[in-house]
C-alpha cells in the first residue's frame, strides 16, 4: 500500500482540474465524541460519493465504517491514544491491535507529547515502535500525530526523527482538539526532516481548497479534514472535528 496520494496539479494550475484529484488526499474525518451512528454513516456515504482516501473515526465506529465502505475503495482509518497521547504504550498498542482487527486500514496515533517536549527521543521511539509493530502486523499503515501546537521547531524535528526511526509510515501535524492546527511552515519542516519517502499529513484547520493546496505545495501527501466536501467544491468549510 503506497503512502503517497495521486499527485495533483501544483497550486497555480487551474483549479478546474484540481478538485477531482484532491479528493484522493483527504481523510474525511468525524472524531466528535457525540457523533451518532447516523452521523458516521452519512460521512461514509459522502466519502464514497466523492472518492476520498479514507474515513477517519474513533475506534468504536471502525466496524461500522468498514462495513459501510465495503466495495467503495475508500479506506477505514482510526485513532489511538487520542487526543492526548498520554496513555501508556501498552494501552496504545492494545488499542491499535483492536482497531486493525476490527478492520482499520490505517491508524493515527498521538505521541507522548511530554517526551517530545523533554527531548527524550528514546521514549518516543519506544512508544511509536510498539504501535507500529501492532499495526504493521496486519498490513495497516501508521500515521504519527506529533501535535505541533505544543512543540518548538527543534521538538517537532525530534518527534519526526523518532517516527522515522520507529518505522512509521506518516507524520501528522495535529489532532485538531488541542488548539493550533496545520501550517505550511510546519509541513515544510516535517517534509525536510522525514525526507521524500515518508507520508506527511496536514490536519487541523484545513477548511478550503486554498488551504489544502498550500499544504500540498509545502509537502503534504494527505489532508485530514471534516470539511472535505467544501474543499473539493472550492468552498469554505466551517466544521471542526
User: Is 63 an annotated catalytic residue?
Assistant: no
Nearest to 31 by CA among 50, 55, 52: 55
How far is residue 7's CA from residue 228's CA, in Å, rounded to a whole number? 17
CA distances from 11 to 6, 8, 173, 218, 232 (A): 15, 9, 21, 10, 14
User: Does residue 23 have a cis peptide bond before it, meaning omega lies within 30 degrees of 0?
Assistant: no
User: Is 201 an annotated catalytic residue?
Assistant: yes
User: Is 172 an annotated catalytic residue?
Assistant: yes
* Burial of residue 154 (number of CB atoms within 10 Å: 0-12, 13-18, 19+): exposed
Taking a C-beta distance cutoff of 8 angstroms, is the pair 125, 165 a contact? yes
The active-site residue out of 27, 172, 186, 211 is 172
The active-site residue out of 27, 105, 108, 169 is 108
The active-site residue out of 53, 66, 156, 201 is 201
Task: Give catalytic residue positions.
Answer: 108, 172, 201
Amino acid at each position: 500500500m503506497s503512502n503517497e496520494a495521486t499527485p495533483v496539479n501544483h497550486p497555480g494550475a487551474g483549479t478546474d482540474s484540481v478538485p477531482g484529484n484532491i479528493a484522493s488526499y483527504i481523510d474525511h474525518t468525524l472524531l466528535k465524541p457525540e457523533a451518532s451512528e447516523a452521523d458516521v454513516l452519512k460521512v461514509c456515504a459522502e466519502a464514497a460519493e466523492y472518492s476520498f482516501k479514507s474515513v477517519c473515526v474513533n475506534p468504536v465506529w471502525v466496524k461500522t465504517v468498514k462495513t459501510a465502505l465495503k466495495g467503495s475503495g475508500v479506506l477505514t482509518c482510526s485513532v489511538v491514544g487520542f487526543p492526548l497521547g498520554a496513555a501508556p504504550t501498552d494501552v496504545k498498542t492494545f488499542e491499535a491491535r483492536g482497531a486493525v482487527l476490527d478492520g482499520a486500514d490505517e491508524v493515527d496515533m498521538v505521541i507522548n507529547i511530554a517526551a517530545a517536549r523533554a527531548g527524550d527521543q528514546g521514549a518516543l521511539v519506544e512508544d511509536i515502535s510498539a504501535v507500529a509493530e501492532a499495526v504493521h502486523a496486519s498490513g495497516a499503515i501508521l500515521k504519527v500525530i506529533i501535535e505541533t501546537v505544543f512543540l518548538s521547531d527543534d521538538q517537532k524535528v525530534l518527534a519526526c526523527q523518532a517516527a522515522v526511526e520507529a518505522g512509521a509510515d506518516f507524520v501528522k501535524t495535529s489532532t485538531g482538539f488541542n488548539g493550533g492546527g496545520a501550517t505550511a511552515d510546519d509541513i515544510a519542516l516535517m517534509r525536510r526532516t522525514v525526507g521524500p519517502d515518508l507520508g506527511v499529513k496536514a490536519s487541523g484547520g484545513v477548511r478550503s481548497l486554498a488551504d489544502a493546496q498550500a499544504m500540498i505545495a509545502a509537502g503534504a501527501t494527505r489532508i485530514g479534514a471534516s470539511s472535505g466536501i467544501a474543499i473539493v467544491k472550492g468552498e469554505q468549510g466551517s466544521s471542526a472535528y
